[in-house]
Amino acid sequence: MQRAGETTGETTPAVTVRARAAHFGDGLKRLPAKLRDLGTRDFEVSSPFYSGRRFGKAFATPISKETSSLSSSSSTSLISSTGSTPPVSPPPGRETFLSAATSSHRTDADMGRVMESFAPSGPAPAADAAHTRARRALSDEAAFLAEASKRFRAAGSNPAASPDAPTPDTPTDPRALCARIAELFGGPVAAASELPYADAMTCADAIASATGGDAALADAVLDRLQLGLDFSRPAPATTTMARNAERCAWRAAQLMAGTSSGYEALRRVAGSSWPQGDGVRYAPRVLLRAGDAIVRASHGDPSPSEITRQAQRWLVDPAADPTQRHLATMALGASRLWRTGNLAALTPEETGAVFAGRNGYMTDGPGTAFAKVKSRLFKTIDTSIPRASDSRWKSALPRVVGKQKSAFAVLGKGIHSAHLDIVEKERAALQASTQSAVEALATERGADGSDADATRSLEAIVRRMTQTGTDAVSVLVERAEIAHWASRPSLAYGEKLGDEDFDAIARNVRETFARLPIPSAAAPPAQREAWMALRRFTTTLRRASQTGGKRAWAPLRAQLAKGGATLDIDKLDALAKRYPGAKEAAAADWKTIERIARAAPIKPKGLSAEAQKAALDELADTMKSGGKVVLVDGGQVGISTAGLSSNVGKLLHAGGIVVSPRLNLRVRGGRQAFAEYGRRTACFYFSAGSQDRVAFDAGAGVQVGGDYLIVRAGVTANVVAYQTDRLNRNAFSLIVARRMKADGSGFDDKRLQRGMVAVNAFMFDHARDRDLTDDETAWQALAQRFIENDDFSVVWNEQHQNERRHGVNVSGGVSFKASVGEVSARLGPQFGYAYDYASKNVADSVDTGGTTAVESHRSGRGGRHIASAGLSTSLGDSPHATEGLVNFGLLSSDFPMVRYRIRDRQHVAKMSLVREEGKLVHRVSYADTEFAHFDDYAHAIRNDERWALMFGLDPDNPAMPSGANRDALLARGRERIESHLAQVKADHKDNQILFHRFRLREHAAKGLDAYAERAAALRANGAGEQEITQWEQDYAELLARPDSWLPVEFKVYERVGRQSSPGINFGLRATLEQSATGERELISMIHKPPQIDAIDRIWPRDEPDRS
């Protein structure tokens, strides 16, 4: 019987040998690509006086594999050819993985740790009956009436009486009052929410607090609120009840303005006449919040007139503290803005105060977030940006200890990767720009038969030869080549000429020559020589075409631009050098081609403020969601005992073997300046600040080797028992929120780009002009520039990172000894292998203030394998290693050492919640799980059925399937997933991060907002910690529910880094630290925002607990 894989007359060994030979041949063919990929690896070089790191290079779109449009069969075969057959369904007997916001069992615990960061820090209290009733009151009408009515008492009733006791159905009846509150403050906005009475409960709390629980007064307050609150036109107060209602209405409004939902409900009921324009619409809330703070501080009357009088008293009081002055200016400015509706009517101080109130900065003075923002903003504009152009050598010593640093100086290393878009979009842009560039060349060259045609006569040919310094053959071949490229119906970057193309170009050259008249004897010599050269060339072409094969077109290929047959950036540049007008006519297209094809970094022309601005403006033009550049400059100091060893050769001497135990201790730390410029899905941000970094390593090892005269060969093994790296950052961030288009079809990126350019202009123009004198003028200038931009906000950000690692490493090598007196030195090659495991990798980032604020937490683990090679150096106390019983080696260092990451199995879970004016924005609040290894990524998304369901649905008409329809839908989804995995694997490099993303669902965001605002309201009213913690626990539990998250996207990110650390690194560490890291989104698979919204509405949900 013939076995599979055999053919008649052939033995199995013969087939095996041929298969191995074919495999070896394929390996040789892939060798150039593997060598090119070395640039994407993680290389580190260290020496006693310099260390550096080069992590990856920007992925060039033209060399990507075009697999995004593969059919299911081709994608499956591509995956299979790599040795991994994709499953079309989950393995038999395996339950579909279901966890909150992640698809991997390996990362489930990490995502759990991330979610715990949003939970109360103390032990979770058990929900008592009272809290259960309070929670149910947010969703059930009867429960709301029962719970809310406890806050009020009927006029003349006993305050201690039970609120549930039967009372007459009158306006002063607490239950009737609460029913009115629910009707007024619930409204159509809350009707679709899972918690329709959350807003009403917030308002009931505020009204009860303002009126002392008097139901009759509360009913009068509702009447007053329905009339509308207007600062410029207070209602007449002719009676005691009217005066009390006026006072309590304003106090209730101030309390409602403390939460976003409360303020929105208040605005629906009492704010129909409030200003609506950009910048001006914030005036009522700023005034109400400032009024609340003034009332709490002064215990005065909450009416607008009394708020104004108290503010004026504080402004003239020399004993008033900075917060009181700040609130006073804010209240007066907001009241003037409310009355006039004109931003120009405000003084610079009032504009700054109102802008601060809009961003939530209600306190001022040393140590406050507002003071930190102002100080860092001014320092960045007045010092950090201008300092970038100063001499770096003169400031080297101060920078080692964290002085005179400037992150913007690192722009000189270039902005890598962040200026590029995803491969799919870059490919389309490249093709369009290539077409335009060729058309511009054709027009300039006259290939369309216009007067610009330099081949219409011998006279024109000779003139062209003189202009370009070329010969007649080049003139004709250029024209024919450009004409041929321009005539192709579909032109693509990277296309190659085939035999038919060469034949067409050669025919064009011959026909053009045939049209030229034979020059007479009286013709200029240059024309006669040109004609003879053309005749010889056409004869050569004719003869070569008759030979056939590759040689047929060798004469023509040699005359083509750059001597090649591929339409690429080099060929286009070669053609453009002779036709500069074409490059000017299509300048934008040429810039696009160069940016995408070369993937070259953006480098400023110098480091002046103008040059820095130009570089970041260029980045703003092209940076897309996920793009980011991080710049760091500063220093590190520390000590190291790496290599400290004792030579116990005499004690353990056996056949010339030397045994040297080693102690490895390192501690280092420093302060650096950093700047970050990037785009999230939610916003653009410009951050600048400082970071403190401390690292500590502790370990031990042993070196075993043999001495042969001056040569020592040995193996060293080290154990890293404990390694930690802690980083604390604080910075201000200027944020421009990313908005949806008016038609809801997607995000308005043009609007966002205008905001990015405006931020650049503000920061770098003021840095150039040096026209700001202190913190206050810097903030006021910022406010005057951006107060009318509702997309803009300012936050103070604090980040804390902590990484803990353990590991082992083994190295071997040969060293040669040289001695001077009682000191010996060794130098020799060394090769090694290391494995380290990150047992803890956590990071927390929290924004304070700002209308757009982000809170994110991260947790990860995993190991990596690293190979190394280089030279090792060491110093010892004696050249006679075996004469004494115990001798000591001093220190050792790698000089240099290159480290190569072989395999990385690290993974990270990350969650980011974005709030706009205090409310969660579910469309841009995400939970990501990042993988460094392709297999981990593929396994996670293949074994979670939710992904197949998401990408199997018809996004334009989504509906949850059942039965056979469900099976077909899941199969369609898995087919799309396999196509995506084929594309990712074809272009995967070590400097890429793979992750899947879940989006917060709309109903969950509403519930989270309700729970958070309940906790905030209780805290503001001085409630007990246990009651507040119970609401916070409800928040955490809802966040951790699997049905609170929707699987939405697969992403591949690219990270490119350049780091250098010149200085002393041999025992004592004193180095400068500079690094530039760029990121961009490389591949994305996601539906459009409106389609995801539609799927969210029909995606399965568990029934909420109504108990």
Among residues 733, 727, 731, 599, which one has the least CA distance to residue 679?
A: 733
Query: Across residues 38-47, what is the average pLDDT?
Result: 67
Kindly report the backbone phi and psi dihedral angles of residue 931, in degrees, each rounded to the nearest multiple of 5, phi listed first: -125, 140
Query: Across residues 529-544, what is the average pLDDT?
Result: 89
Q: Is 621 helix (H, G, I), strand (E, B) or coil?
A: helix
pLDDT of residue 142: 93
CA distance 971 to 962: 13
For residue 162, what is the DSSP state? Answer: -
Query: Across residues 613-634, what is the average pLDDT?
Result: 94
pLDDT of residue 629: 97
Q: Give the position of tokens 């650390």.
A: 1061
pLDDT of residue 970: 95
pLDDT at 90 over 70: no
- Provide the percentage of residues in the chain whose pLDDT is more than 70: 85
Q: Is 779 exposed, middle or buried (0-12, 13-18, 19+ CB in 10 A)?
A: buried
List % helix, strand, coil for the chain (3-state, nearest 5).
45, 25, 30
pLDDT of residue 163: 40
Residue with the bigger pLDDT between 467 and 936: it is 936
Among residues 908, 934, 912, which one has the least CA distance to residue 110?
A: 908
Among residues 234, 357, 367, which one has the least CA distance to residue 291?
A: 357
Per-position DSSP letters for 505-521, written without gaps between them: HHHHHHHHHHHSPPPPT
- The token pair that represents 939 in the structure block: 């396994």
Plot region of 645 (φ>0 → left; ψ -120 to 50 → alpha; else → beta): beta
pLDDT at 987 over 60: yes
Angle (CA) 216 219 223, round 5°: 140
- Provide the percentage of residues in the chain whose pLDDT is more than 90: 55
Confidence of residue 39 (pLDDT cuts 50, 70, 90): low
pLDDT of residue 479: 86
pLDDT at 598 over 90: no
Dump pLDDT digits (tens) for 274-313: 998 888 999 999 999 999 999 999 999 999 999 999 999 9
For residue 955, what is the DSSP state? Answer: T
pLDDT at 72 over 90: no
- Could you tell me if 102 and 909 are in contact, meaning their C-beta atoms sit under 8 angstroms apart? yes
Confidence of residue 895 (pLDDT cuts 50, 70, 90): low
Q: Provide the mean pLDDT of the chain.
A: 85
- The token pair that represents 440 in the structure block: 């511009």
Confidence of residue 269 (pLDDT cuts 50, 70, 90): very high
Dump pLDDT digits (tens) for 91-113: 333 334 457 788 877 788 889 89
Confidence of residue 488 (pLDDT cuts 50, 70, 90): confident
Which runs of E-coded beta strand occur in 525-656? 628-640, 644-647
- Could you tell me if 766 and 381 are in contact, meaning their C-beta atoms sit under 8 angstroms apart? yes
pLDDT at 928 over 60: yes
Among residues 1010, 803, 774, which one has the least CA distance to residue 259?
A: 1010
List the beta bridge partners of residue 801.
727, 843
Confidence of residue 771 (pLDDT cuts 50, 70, 90): very high
Query: Across residues 881-889, what is the average pLDDT?
Result: 43
- Could you tell me if 596 and 61 are in contact, meaning their C-beta atoms sit under 8 angstroms apart? yes
- Could you tell me if 726 and 810 are in contact, meaning their C-beta atoms sit under 8 angstroms apart? no
Give the other-Cβ count within 10 Å of 570's Cβ.
15
Which runs of E-coded beta strand occur in 774-851? 792-820, 823-848
pLDDT of residue 93: 34
Query: Across residues 211-239, what is the average pLDDT?
Result: 87
pLDDT of residue 825: 77
CA distance 472 to 850: 67
Confidence of residue 87 (pLDDT cuts 50, 70, 90): very low
pLDDT of residue 1106: 42
Among residues 293, 264, 291, 287, which one has the least CA distance to residue 354?
A: 287
Dump pLDDT digits (tens) for 427-444: 899 999 999 999 999 888
pLDDT at 933 over 50: yes
Query: Across residues 910-929, what is the average pLDDT?
Result: 95
Confidence of residue 965 (pLDDT cuts 50, 70, 90): very high
Paired sense of beta strands 644-647 and 628-640, if any = unpaired
pLDDT of residue 40: 57
pLDDT at 859 over 60: yes
Among residues 665, 637, 712, 704, which one has the least CA distance to residue 872?
A: 712
> What's this model's pTM, rounded to 2 decimal places?
0.87
Confidence of residue 321 (pLDDT cuts 50, 70, 90): very high
Cα diameter, the chain: 127
pLDDT of residue 240: 87
Among residues 48, 52, 47, 51, which one has the least CA distance to residue 1066?
A: 48
Q: Is 98 helix (H, G, I), strand (E, B) or coil?
A: coil
pLDDT of residue 706: 78
Confidence of residue 635 (pLDDT cuts 50, 70, 90): very high
Plot region of 341 (φ>0 → left; ψ -120 to 50 → alpha; else → beta): left
Q: Is 7 helix (H, G, I), strand (E, B) or coil?
A: coil
pLDDT at 1054 over 50: yes
pLDDT at 740 over 60: yes
> Rounded to the nearest 10 degrees, how much is the dihedral formed by the CA atoms of 300, 301, 306, 308?
60
Residue with the bigger pLDDT between 226 and 492: it is 226
